[in-house]
């Protein structure tokens, strides 16, 4: 049999000893929008997958307001200039996020003859079975399933070279300040979260209480969403020895990455998922300053109650008929899964990655702060890095692993990586 096989290969001009040609690497398109945090997650996933990728930045027309179900797989929501960049050769893998990208991803799959695989990241806006893989993050009440991959933390990773370089540049300007350096990252009002002058005073009072008790210096940095009135309160409340940075559109003087690298402890307002996760990745003690919630209007309160009744994980697990109704409303664009930042906080606290700021102000366990020699909050738990597991899960969509592959398998949707 072997001789006959060799003869047959030689008859068509192929040497029996020749190695098979390497398959070309799959090509990836990353669909980005104006949402900076979502874009960062998409690029982190694309880097983790390890295949060549091309970023397709989408801008949208007025039809963006319509749910994609009424327009179908199409480019109707995309402005003509953006649409002109979506041309063959079509990708093998599409990474997308945000509701408005959904019809574009479906359209691209149609253009590829159904060959392209779609990995969607973030909040579910449609039946997850319409995607090849749905990567969900902790702040959403979303159902599990065979093609749903629940992350313990969003895929946000500060660039280590950028952090190191910025820290080296800024450290000489800060070395006169006593340690520990308590870094306060301030976001802004968003959705139900309130950040007004009164809340800003409370944040500064609690942060200053830490400094008065443990010593050290306060380094405060605001963000694009921080209101001017809040910035005024923060700046007025600063101690003489400290750093206050007021965000501007000129990023050259922004110390954010430097403070990530230099901070001994972090306090982060609870409205900003990206700042929380990037601080967690530094391996230093982190406190969450949870912002108060504004009272919703009656229609939004009714919608939230309906979400909890039909779409909460508990409702989906216990009441399948209700769940089918809720999922049907999601598919029609009449309801969406609820975003709840407290689920992210709870996960961080349960894994000993963060504490509420109020807890820092209580009695601290015996121990020395590494930077100052004083007692203070400490942290020993490392943040989970799920990139290798997610890489394996995504790559298997296109190239199933060989039978003798001994690499650790990606976790199932119901059992994420530790």
For range 46-64, the mean pLDDT? 89
| DSSP letters spanning 290-346 | PPPBPPPPHHHHHHHHHHHHHHSHHHHHH-HHHHHHHHHHHHTTS--PPB-HHHHHH
Confidence band of 342 (pLDDT split at 50, 70, 90): confident
The answer to which of 220-224, 246-250, 316-320 has the lowest mean pLDDT is: 316-320
* Omega before residue 258 within 30° of 0, cis: no
First to last CA, the chain: 49
Residue 389's pLDDT band (boundaries 50, 70, 90)? very high
> 49-58, 73-82, 203-212: which range is least confident on average?
73-82
Every domain of the chain with CATH number 3.40.50.2000 lies at 162-293+341-360
Sign of the alpha-carbon dihedral angle for 349, 352, 356, 359: positive
pLDDT of residue 92: 97
CATH code that applies to domain 162-293+341-360: 3.40.50.2000
Say if residue 409's pLDDT is above 60.
Answer: no
* Average confidence score pLDDT of the chain: 83
* 325 class by beta-carbon count within 10 Å (0-12 exposed, 13-18 middle, 19+ buried): middle
**Structure-model confidence comparison of residues 254 and 138, the more confident one:** 254
**In whole angstroms, what is the distance from residue 79 CA to residue 63 CA?**
9
pLDDT digit string, tens, across residues 151-203? 999 999 999 999 999 999 999 999 999 999 999 999 999 878 899 999 999 99
Q: What does the pLDDT read at residue 165?
A: 97
pLDDT for res 413 = 38
Q: Which residues pair with 345 in a beta bridge?
A: none
Structure tokens at 250: 């000129």
**235 and 246 Cβ atoms separated by less than 8 Å:** yes
SS3 at position 183 = strand
Give the residue from 180, 213, 388 showing the smallest Cα distance to 284.
Answer: 180
At residue 64, the pLDDT reads 59
Q: φ and ψ at 152, to 5 degrees?
A: -75, -35
At residue 361, does pLDDT exceed 50? yes
pLDDT at 377: 83
Residue 307, CA atoms < 13 Å, CB-side half-sphere:
18
Average pLDDT over residues 353-378: 72
Burial of residue 213, with CB atoms counted within 10 A of its CB: 0-12 exposed, 13-18 middle, 19 or more buried: middle
80 against 7, higher pLDDT: 80
Say what the pTM is: 0.80
Q: Assign 190 to helix, strand or coil.
A: strand
Q: 28-155+387-395 sits in which CATH class? A: alpha beta
Please tell me the predicted confidence (pLDDT) of residue 3.
41
Q: Is 170 left (phi over 0), alpha (psi -120 to 50) or beta?
A: alpha
Q: pLDDT value at position 98?
A: 83
> 33 and 58 in contact (C-beta within 8 Å)?
yes
Q: Is the pLDDT of residue 2 over 80?
A: no
Residue 333 backbone class (left: φ over 0; alpha: ψ -120 to 50; beta: rest): left
pLDDT in tens, 260-298: 999 999 999 999 889 999 999 999 999 999 999 887 677
- Could you report the per-residue pLDDT of 305-339, keeping only the tens digit for each? 777 777 776 666 677 777 778 777 777 667 777 77
In the chain, the percentage of residues whose pLDDT exceeds 70 is: 82
What pLDDT was estimated at residue 19? 52
% of the chain surpassing 90 pLDDT:
54
């Amino acid at each position: 049999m072997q001789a006959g096989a060799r003869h047959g290969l030689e008859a068509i001009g192929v040497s029996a000893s020749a190695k098979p040609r390497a398959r070309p690497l799959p090509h990836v398109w990353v669909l980005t929008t104006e949402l900076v945090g979502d874009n960062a997650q998409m690029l982190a996933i694309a880097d983790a997958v390890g295949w060549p990728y091309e970023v397709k930045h989408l801008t949208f027309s007025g039809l963006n307001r319509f749910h994609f179900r009424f327009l179908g797989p199409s480019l109707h929501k995309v402005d003509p200039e953006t649409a002109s960049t979506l041309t063959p050769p079509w990708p093998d893998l599409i990474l997308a996020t945000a509701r408005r990208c959904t019809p574009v991803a479906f359209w691209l799959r149609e253009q590829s003859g159904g060959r392209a695989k779609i990995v969607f990241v973030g909040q579910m806006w449609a039946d997850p079975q319409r995607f090849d893989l749905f990567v969900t993050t902790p702040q959403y009440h979303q159902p599990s399933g065979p093609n749903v991959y629940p992350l313990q933390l969003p895929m946000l990773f500060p660039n280590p070279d950028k952090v190191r370089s910025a820290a080296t540049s800024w450290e000489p300007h800060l070395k006169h300040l006593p340690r520990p350096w308590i870094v306060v990252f301030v976001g802004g009002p968003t959705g139900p979260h309130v950040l007004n002058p009164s809340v800003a005073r409370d944040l500064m009072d609690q942060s200053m209480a830490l400094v008065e008790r443990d010593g050290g210096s306060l380094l405060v940095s605001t963000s694009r969403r921080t209101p001017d009135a809040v910035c005024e309160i923060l700046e007025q409340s600063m101690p003489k020895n400290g750093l206050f940075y007021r965000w501007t559109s000129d990023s050259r003087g922004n110390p954010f990455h430097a403070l990530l690298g230099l901070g001994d402890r972090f306090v982060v307002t609870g409205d900003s998922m990206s700042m929380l996760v990037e601080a967690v990745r530094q391996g230093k003690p982190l406190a969450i300053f949870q912002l108060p919630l504004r009272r919703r209007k009656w229609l939004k309160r009714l919608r939230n109650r309906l979400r909890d009744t039909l779409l909460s994980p508990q409702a989906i697990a216990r009441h399948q008929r209700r769940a089918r109704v809720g999922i049907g409303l999601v598919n029609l664009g009449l309801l969406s899964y609820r975003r709840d930042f407290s689920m992210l906080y709870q996960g961080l606290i349960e894994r000993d990655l963060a504490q509420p700021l109020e807890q820092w102000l209580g009695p601290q366990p015996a121990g020395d702060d590494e930077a100052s020699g004083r007692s203070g909050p400490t942290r020993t738990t490392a943040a989970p890095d799920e990139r290798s597991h997610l890489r394996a899960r995504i790559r298997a969509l296109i190239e199933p692993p060989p039978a003798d592959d001994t690499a650790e398998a990606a976790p199932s949707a119901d059992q994420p990586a530790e």
